[in-house]
Amino acid sequence: MKRKLIIFFVLTLILTTAVATAEEKILEIGISQEPDGFGTMFSMAAGTQVENTINPTMPMLYRDNNWDLHPNVTQYRPNVQDGTWVVDEENEAMVVHWKLREDITWHDGEPFTTEDFVIGYNITMHDDYPAITKTVARYIEEIEVLGDYEMKLHYNQLYPFADGQVLGFMPMPAHIFSEPYEQDDIEAIVEHNYWRTGFFGIGPYKLKEWVSGSHIELAANPDFYRGKPIIDTIVFRFVEDTETLRFMIETGEVQASINPTLHFDSAIALQRSVDPEKIHVDFIEAITWEHIDLNTRDFEPFQDVRVRRALMHATDKEEILETVYEGVISSSEMPMSPRHPHLVDDAYDVMTVYEYNPERAEALLAAAGFARGPDGIMTHQDTGKKLILDIRTTAGNSSRELAQQILAQQWAEIGIQVEINNMVSTALFDHGHLYKRAWPHMILFAWVSSPTSMGDTIWHMDAIPREENNWEGQNVSGWENEEASEILDEMLQEMDESRRQELNTRFLQLWTRDLPSLPLFFNLDITIWHNNISGIKPTGCNSPDTWNIHQWDIH
Amino acid sequence: MWVYVIRRILQVIPVLFLISLATFALLNAMPGDPLAELMMADPDMSEEDLANLRRIYGLDQPFQMRYLRWMEGVIFERDLGSSQQYKVPVTTLIARNVENTFYLVFSSFILSLFVAIPIGIYSALRQYSLADYFWTGFSFFGFSVPNHWLGLLLLFLFSVQLEWTPVGGFQSIRVPPDFFSQLLDRLHHLILPMITLGMSSLAGWMRYMRSTMLEVIREDYIRTARAKGIAERKIIYKHALRNAILPVITLVMMAIPMMLGGAVITEAVFVYPGMGRLFWHSLINQDNFVSMAIIMIIAVLVVLFNLLADILYAWIDPRIRYD
């Protein structure tokens, strides 16, 4: 009898374990970077994706795949109409009234309160705390605490995204950081294990293990305030070599891969080699703008808009996109993503479009004083200078290098000779090169933007790098348009979105008319998953694709 | 002998100082600004933010000041500086990665040594045989094939097609916690990186061993030994090998620091977390204190293994004395 009982218990134990193991849902996700850490001191895309799974990187509002915004740790989205967002235009100041959800706790069980916001703000604003950016936090004058779950943020200037789209700092666990902050021990805060292997937050998953160079394992947080996660365990595996990552996806060693992931050519190769019923490769237009900046400050011919327009008319973007990106990407006529909330249909009616037309390009060059010389190269009739253009991009970026080759052929047709002079990215983007305009004519690269970007940092005339401003500013092509700069100033302080859209329409009209840069296309965000995974909805912007990870499932 | 060793170590100090100065200067002379690149990726970052970060990381200081501050930390506080990227002391970062690289380099070293030496001897003793031609061809392949390509080829064959080995990493996510399961899992992950990293050394040593052995077995004293009727096995292993292996020692001893260099590519292909990968990251992100520390570790290893080779020389060859 005793023996039978023992056998019964052992069998029950084995069965229970087997059932429990079978029911455990584990998802392994491959990413091509390892986060360097979590929080505002770090900037890697991989860090943002993983961090958002543990602790929301957009705490007040989160953005979904349609770029719609929803309250996150807050009870509502503030607005001017109901008085939760008070704008004092006369004094250029604002107050935003927040009420937090009261059912949120940190993963260690401590309540999540306004105190965490205050300490997060104070640490961010400390002179020696190396936050990547403090720009928006600097707009905040004071946090007025009205209780554990209620506070008012006082702004010292008008800022249209103060409704939580951009907070400018992150709440931090006060029960961890109050003490070192009060002792003014910023070094202890910066080097605290919290930002790495000891990281925790309020998100859908808790950090279980971080094996440096290998993976991060996360366990579901059953108390997550937006709903209990369906998948029990998420493992992010760091696979920097994209060919190895491709093998891992094919063999099922990882079942999904989110940004940062395979390059376009690897993703296309994967898509071709696998059964689409088994693996889905998703391409979504992102907000990284590939373009060619023209050095309009130092190269005289580019100061003539006819020459710039001629280059655009001589560019067959469709051929480039078909050859390099197999037609997956569509071309762009302006520096703003078609998904940007400020871009409305009116803009398409007023902007100038430069269709591919080599004859028109030659006519424009002729009007600008150029004619073909005996060698076939366009030569200025007065100065005798030939149109031989230097173009640079990041060496090793095969897509850009191929695009360059095609451009060289296309421009050769209208008598423009191109000299390719590529450089490694660190050298290309070196301050002494990019901002001091050590590139003589043209530079091909991409700007990353966000749904809240308005282009002020790139197109405002005050952002032209000059010797007087110590070569600071990102308007590297040197576009100087007073009206456009005034529009940007106004947009930065305009609370009404429809008015911002109107202003933006006029801005794009001016931009496409002047054409300070040659727009090419917006890059793609690539996401891959095995078809037994459901719920993955990439955002295609800098908001994390893990915004709804608690709803992902494995079938 | 100890006097000799101490004298050699003292000679090393100015060498290491010069290496540190040259490395620091070269790393700082590299084009590019990792902080300025952050602006490309973060649309909210302003010029003021950039200036603030430069001040915090001391990048607004002149080169000589930064070097002196680093040197002061190394000498007086045994502090190699902090990683600008990871915001932790460099020693913590290296300690996290050194163990895995040790396993990889050591296993590749052992594999290369125990395969290359016997095959080198075998090829020399059976010169122009079919086996000799095969191993000659194999060693040419081993020499010429780039690590990255070989790694991908092995991955494709053994991981993707045959599914015998894992695609990457150094351990499975879920392994029973007992020692043997852990050990087997780690070894399973180590097979392909070990072969990839060891291939060029293996090929080189095989050829070197073959040629030195061929040279020695044609010497007069070997002929004399044969004339005296000493057993062939004794001639080869007691007389010929002892002399033939002398030049190989230097080569083998210097291979360990060289393998650390090779680990950069191997670790990247096999997603193997180690110092090689850390070094690669530190270079592309211009995390200069991390690069400095790893270069200095390699420099110290070069010097140490050089010394060790000299000591081993005297141990194997009694004609050599420390004067």
Give pLDDT tens digits for B3-51: 877 888 888 889 899 999 999 999 988 877 777 777 777 767 888 888 8
Q: Are A289 and A328 in contact (CB under 8 A)?
A: no
Q: How confident is the model at residue B271 (pLDDT cuts 50, 70, 90)?
A: confident
What residues of B are in contact with residue A41 (Cβ under 8 Å)? 87
d(CA A401, CA A405): 6
Dihedral sign computed on CA atoms, order A72, A78, A84, A88 = positive
- Extract the tokens encoding B157: 């064959």
- Extract the tokens encoding A237: 């595996």
Q: What does the pLDDT average to over B151-169?
A: 88
Tokens 């037609």 identify what position? A327
B165 touches chain A (CB under 8 A): no
Angle at A517 between CA A386 and CA B284, to 5 degrees: 100
Residue B245: the pLDDT is: 84
What residues of B are in contact with residue A195 (Cβ under 8 Å)? 87
| Interface touch B87/A130, C-beta < 8 Å | yes
Nearest-Cα distance to chain A for B31, in Å, is 5
Q: Are A440 and A296 in contact (CB under 8 A)?
A: no
Residue of A nearest to B287 (CA): A36
Alpha helices in A24-92 (DSSP H): 45-54
Query: Rounded to whole angstroms, what are the CA distances from A339 to A335, A342, B2?
Result: 12, 9, 74
What residues of A are in contact with residue B39 (Cβ under 8 Å)? 474
Residue A18: the pLDDT is: 47
Q: Are A239 and B271 in contact (CB under 8 A)?
A: yes
B73 touches chain A (CB under 8 A): no
Region of poorest pLDDT, from A250-264, A500-514, B79-93, B181-195: B79-93
What residues of A are in contact with residue B167 (Cβ under 8 Å)? 244, 247-248, 251, 253
Q: Are A519 and A335 in contact (CB under 8 A)?
A: yes
The answer, yes or no, to whether residue B63 has pLDDT greater than 90, is: no
Give Cα A529 to chain centroid, integer Å: 21
Residue A20: the pLDDT is: 46
Residue A228, phi-psi category: left (phi > 0), alpha (psi -120 to 50), beta (remainder): beta
d(CA B224, CA A64): 86
d(CA A427, CA A440): 15
Give Cα B20 to chain centroid, integer Å: 19
Residue A224: the pLDDT is: 97
Residue B322: the pLDDT is: 65
Residue B169: the pLDDT is: 80
| Interface touch A448/B41, C-beta < 8 Å | yes
List all residues of chain B from 268 to 307 with a beta carbon under 8 Å from chain A.
Answer: 268-274, 277-278, 284, 286
What residues of A are in contact with residue B99 (Cβ under 8 Å)? none
A236 touches chain B (CB under 8 A): no
Instruction: Please tell me whether residue A475 adopts helix, strand or coil conformation.
Output: coil
| Interface touch B155/A247, C-beta < 8 Å | yes
Residue A241: the pLDDT is: 81
Q: Beta strand A417-420 with A388-392: parallel, antiparallel or unpaired?
A: parallel
Nearest-Cα distance to chain B for A2, in Å, is 30
Cβ neighbours for B233, distance < 8 A, ≥ 6 positions apart: none
CA proximity to B316, closest of B255, B249, B253, B224: B249
Residue A546: the pLDDT is: 96
- Extract the tokens encoding A77: 């989205």
Average pLDDT, chain A: 92
Per-10-residue mean pLDDT of chain A, 555 residues long, equals 57 49 84 90 85 95 94 95 93 95 97 97 95 92 96 94 91 97 95 94 96 90 96 93 88 93 89 92 91 96 97 96 88 92 94 96 96 94 94 90 95 96 86 90 92 90 90 91 96 92 97 97 94 95 93 96
CA proximity to A195, closest of A215, A184, A210: A210
A195 touches chain B (CB under 8 A): yes
